[in-house]
Amino acid sequence: MLAFEGKRCLHSRGLKAALFLSLLLALGHFCVYCLWFLQGKQGGPLSAEFQELIKQGNDAGYIYPATLYEGFIGGEGYTFFNQLYFYLIPIIAVLPFGASFFQDEKSGYLKQIYIKKTKGAYLNSKYLVTFLSGGTAALSAYVFSFALNALYVPAINPTQVALHTNVIDIMSMSEWYYTKPYLYFGVYGAAIFLCGGFLATLALCISFIGKNTMFVLSFPFIVYTALDYVSLQTDIPIYSLRSIINPMDGYTKLNVPISHVFLMLIGCCVATTFFFGLIGRLREKII
Amino acid sequence: MINLKRFFIVLFIELFIIALMVLYGLRVAYVNRNNDKTEVQYVYDSVPAETQNFEITIDEEKLYDTAAFVKKFPNIQKCFTYQGSIYEQMKDTTYLPSIKYILYLDVTFKNITNETQDVDLINYSLFVNDSYHNGINPILLEELNQLSGLSLLPGHSYTVSYAFELSQENIDRERYQNLLRQRFSLMLTGYPNIQHLVLTHITPVEANKDDVAFYQELISSKGVIQTDLPNTKNGTILKIGESYVDNNITLQVDDVSIEHKNIPALIKKIGLDKNVRKGEISDFEKEYIYKNGNAVIRENYYKDAKVVVVHCVIKNDTDAPHSIYLYPYLRNYIGINAVEPTYCHVENLKYKKHGTDYTLDAHSQGSITYLYVIGEFKGKYAKPDFRWDIENKPLYLGFSEMDPGEINLEKEILYGYGKFLRIK
């Protein structure tokens, strides 16, 4: 059943659409950051100026080349692409397989499945494939951008004194950011994956009461944005999924340890697992 | 046949993908070819460190409790006084108390080249491990050293005192509680030869109870400086003849003159050769001031410099001795262009080494004569707002410790910062 659902997901138009959207984001960021902002030069538009300063024997510490870890969609704050990407994550995550349960039920396909396979096997595999596809889709722009921008920007460690970033010592994992940035962004990559998986499975959960595909696909986005709004109004950053999974959101890094981020995301995933599994097994049809 | 065709198509696609991956790898390797230039070289403080122009030695490394630091260097008390500060204006009662430690360094620079070199004093950042760095507070630098710029002749050396404020708001809590176990380093040079001087002999200096009590009052929102005379407030432009008041001491300007020739004779005339800091005037100052009999400082636009001599009378009419920080900048008619005093000559005022506070005994009077060397910018820097035109336009003394930002003294536009006294 798992292999079957996996195959369905891989061949789905939703997955292709999600990957295409991610690629567009990565390409857009590449063009704006590498070609326009850095002008294709290692070090960026300042390179000519600071090359001159270096020739004069100037030891100004703030001179430092652009680094890939501050130059891909997950790590930089110069362009709007970072914010755009994190706003679009709930849409990208649900596209591959988020509405598949709803469509199976609506088309009557579900009845046929339940004749041949147990409910448990179907629901488990559906959940797992949706979770994995949602996480992968959410992470894809992050990975594409990193890989693409590596063609122009060197992977050197960031430095505090260059003032390219807003990561400071009191923020969660700041030491890793400056010494092992691949680990720092790897951890956030895992958080983005979990978040994408959760959002995709949230679409599964709402499928029980959804009336059309558009509602099912947009529900995670509504929840995601609503949590953002609640966080803003209550000034409690951990409610904003968008902020806690963004490596460059300074405010949440100050107030939310990374362990809390993972606890919250895992809690959300467990909640959707429980909800989907229980309701899926018990219900005949709610509406 | 079809199978063969399909085989070759698949083979071609696979080879193409492999070629793309190889090209990708080569390109990434090419982009990363200079990564070694960003590696940090660590040198240790047990031996002098060398940069392109200087040999740098650390003579003293102390981690002070801030209360102990303020006690040791009373002239910097104003930097840690809440009342009248920018923190009071912003109603920020947390930042000053958060600075619990000060790292104090005595750094000796020696010019190892054959040419006079400028020391970029504020270029040396402090690092705590890799994730915290702190630049130099220019106000503390000026107050500890009585200078804001430094040039060294070949072979000459000079010791500069640095004080880095370490606030618990900016450093991870666990690391802050174990500061002495962290790796402190001073960044000597930047990219592409990044060199950090690791400080391995830092000794702690703790404050005693009295120091702590005094300091707590200093930084509290209630303030501590009790004055019989109200201090001149921030955001004030005093008129000609009015008095500047600080800490019960009044300053009045009683003479302003403009000279433009024969500086050595001038210095003798005003007694500058009897300056209390005699013997501390370094060779570079003599060269710059006495060259060709004119005041020639730095680039050519000072060739036609004029000298403004400001004679001030300082009075303490109270029953106790008081100290006053006096390092006024001369500002042009707009207030944007400013020069620091090149020399000052004091009479009847006590002056401490490493201090810029002058102490006046009870019911006594003293004087300070400031000498400012100014020149008009030329070329692309000759903007109207930066002109002095000292023969025709007003001049001001600026007593602010913070940069006043955008101001226009001619139109009396001040954004709450700075204290200015018109002298002409």
Question: Contact at 8 Å (CB) between B53 and B113?
Answer: yes
Looking at residue B217, its pLDDT comes to 81
Q: Which residue has the higher pLDDT, B33 or B139?
A: B33
Looking at residue A58, its pLDDT comes to 59
Question: Contact at 8 Å (CB) between B143 and B325?
Answer: yes
Chain B residues with a Cβ under 8 Å from any Cβ in chain A: 24, 27-28, 31-32, 34-35, 38, 51-53, 120, 123, 125, 127-133, 169-173, 175, 187-192
Q: Which residue has the higher pLDDT, B167 or A282?
A: B167
Task: Give the C-alpha separation, B96 to A152, whole Å.
Answer: 44
Q: Which residue has the higher pLDDT, B406 or A215?
A: A215
Question: Contact at 8 Å (CB) between A196 and A139?
Answer: yes
Residue B247 has pLDDT above 70, yes or no: yes
- Compute the average pLDDT of residues B293-304: 43
Outline where DSSP puts E strands in B284-362. 306-316, 322-325, 329-331, 338-339, 343-347, 350-351, 357-360
Q: Is residue B20 helix, strand or coil?
A: helix
Number of residues that this document lists for chain B: 424
Residue B78 has pLDDT above 80, yes or no: no
Distance in Å, alpha carbon of A258 to nearest chain B alpha carbon: 14
Cα separations (Å) of A253 from A199, A221, A239, A261, B165?
A: 22, 23, 13, 10, 23
The secondary structure of A190-244, three-state, reads HHHHHHHHHHHHHHHHHCCCCCCHHHHHHHHHHHHHHHHHHHHHHCCHHHCHHHH
- Compute the average pLDDT of residues B149-167: 89
Question: Contact at 8 Å (CB) between A94 and A206?
Answer: no
Query: Pairing state of beta strands B99-111 and B244-246?
Result: unpaired
Q: Which of A140-144, A261-265, B95-99, B318-322 has the lowest mean pLDDT?
A: B318-322
Question: Contact at 8 Å (CB) between B327 and B368?
Answer: no
Q: How many CB atoms lie within 10 A of CB B53?
A: 19
Are residues A54 and B28, on separate chains, in Cβ contact within 8 Å?
no
Looking at residue B64, its pLDDT comes to 93
Does this model's pTM top 0.90? My answer is: no
Chosen for mutation from A68, A149, A159, A165 (greatest number of chain B CBs closer than 10 Å) is A159
Question: Contact at 8 Å (CB) between A15 and A86?
Answer: no
Looking at residue A54, its pLDDT comes to 62
* CA closest to A255 among chain B residues: B172
Question: Contact at 8 Å (CB) between B224 and B217?
Answer: yes
Query: Pairing state of beta strands B203-205 and B54-65?
Result: parallel
Q: Which of A192-206, B39-53, B118-132, B306-320 has the highest mean predicted lDDT (pLDDT)?
A: A192-206
Q: Residue B214, CB half-sphere, CA atoms under 13 Å: how many?
A: 16
Looking at residue A140, its pLDDT comes to 96
Residue holding tokens 């640095």?
A: B162
- Compute the average pLDDT of residues B384-411: 80
Task: Give the C-alpha separation, B391 to A249, whole Å.
Answer: 55
Chosen for mutation from A72, A143, A161, A254 (greatest number of chain B CBs closer than 10 Å) is A161
Looking at residue B304, its pLDDT comes to 62
Q: Which pLDDT band, with edges at 50, 70 and 90, does B300 fall under? A: very low
* CA closest to B132 among chain A residues: A169
- Work out the mean pLDDT of chain B and round it to a whole number: 80
Chain segment B168-222, per-residue pLDDT in tens: 888 888 889 999 999 999 998 887 788 999 999 999 999 888 888 888 887 876 6
Task: Give the C-alpha separation, B83 to B89, whole Å.
Answer: 9
Residue B28 has pLDDT above 60, yes or no: yes
- Cis status of the peptide bond prior to B328, with omega within 30 of 0: no
Bridge partners of B402, per DSSP, are none
Chosen for mutation from A56, A59, A180 (greatest number of chain B CBs closer than 10 Å) is A59
Task: Give the C-alpha separation, B246 to A103, whole Å.
Answer: 79
Are residues B132 and A160, on separate chains, in Cβ contact within 8 Å?
yes
DSSP H or E stretch at residue A181: helix A181-206
* CA closest to A40 among chain B residues: B31
Distance in Å, alpha carbon of A122 to nearest chain B alpha carbon: 35
Nearest to A145 by CA among A190, A81, A93: A81
Report CA dihedral (A19, A20, A26, A29) to the nearest 10 degrees: -150
Q: Which residue has the higher pLDDT, B184 or B52?
A: B184
Provide the 8-state DSSP code for B206.
-
* CA closest to B189 among chain A residues: A59
Residue B337 has pLDDT above 60, yes or no: yes
Task: Give the C-alpha separation, A142 to A22, whole Å.
Answer: 8
Give helix A181-206 / helix A213-234 axis angle, nearest 10°: 130
Structure tokens at B181: 């176990």
* CA closest to B117 among chain A residues: A57
- By Cβ distance, the residue of B24, B51, B169 closest to A59 is B51
Q: Which residue has the higher pLDDT, B355 or B268?
A: B268
Task: Give the C-alpha separation, B334 to B386, whole Å.
Answer: 8
Question: Contact at 8 Å (CB) between A85 and A74?
Answer: yes
Size of interface A-B (CB pairs under 8 A): 88
Nearest to B402 by CA among B139, B145, B219: B139
Q: How many CB atoms lie within 10 A of CB B59?
A: 11
Task: Give the C-alpha separation, A76 to A68, whole Å.
Answer: 9
- Compute the average pLDDT of residues B369-382: 72
Are residues B52 and A179, on separate chains, in Cβ contact within 8 Å?
no
Q: Which pLDDT band, with edges at 50, 70 and 90, does B133 fall under? A: confident
CA max distance for chain B: 114
Counting residues of chain B whose pLDDT is more than 90, the rounded percentage is: 25
Q: CA triplet B130, B136, B141: central angle to 5 degrees?
A: 150
Nearest to B41 by CA among B191, B180, B202: B191
**Phi/psi at B345 (5° precision):** -120, 125
Task: Give the C-alpha separation, B118 to B400, whole Å.
Answer: 26
Q: Is residue B57 helix, strand or coil?
A: strand
- Compute the average pLDDT of residues B330-356: 74
Cα separations (Å) of A84 from A24, A29, A69, A227?
A: 12, 10, 18, 17
Structure tokens at A174: 């700041």
Chain A residues with a Cβ under 8 Å from any Cβ in chain B: 42, 54, 57, 59-65, 150-157, 159-161, 167-170, 174-175, 177-179
Are residues A170 and B32, on separate chains, in Cβ contact within 8 Å?
no
Q: How many helices (H) and strands (E) does chain A have?
A: 13, 0
Ranges under pLDDT 70 in chain A: 40-62, 163, 284-287
Chosen for mutation from B39, B127, B130, B182 (greatest number of chain A CBs closer than 10 Å) is B130
Looking at residue A172, its pLDDT comes to 84
DSSP H or E stretch at residue B408: none
Q: Which pLDDT band, with edges at 50, 70 and 90, does B378 fall under? A: low
**Chain A contacts of B27, Cβ < 8 Å?**
151
**Chain A contacts of B131, Cβ < 8 Å?**
160, 167-169, 174-175, 177-179
Provide the 8-state DSSP code for A36.
I
Question: Contact at 8 Å (CB) between A248 and A77?
Answer: yes
Are residues A169 and B123, on separate chains, in Cβ contact within 8 Å?
no
* CA closest to A163 among chain B residues: B133
**Chain A contacts of B120, Cβ < 8 Å?**
59-60
**Chain B contacts of A170, Cβ < 8 Å?**
169-173
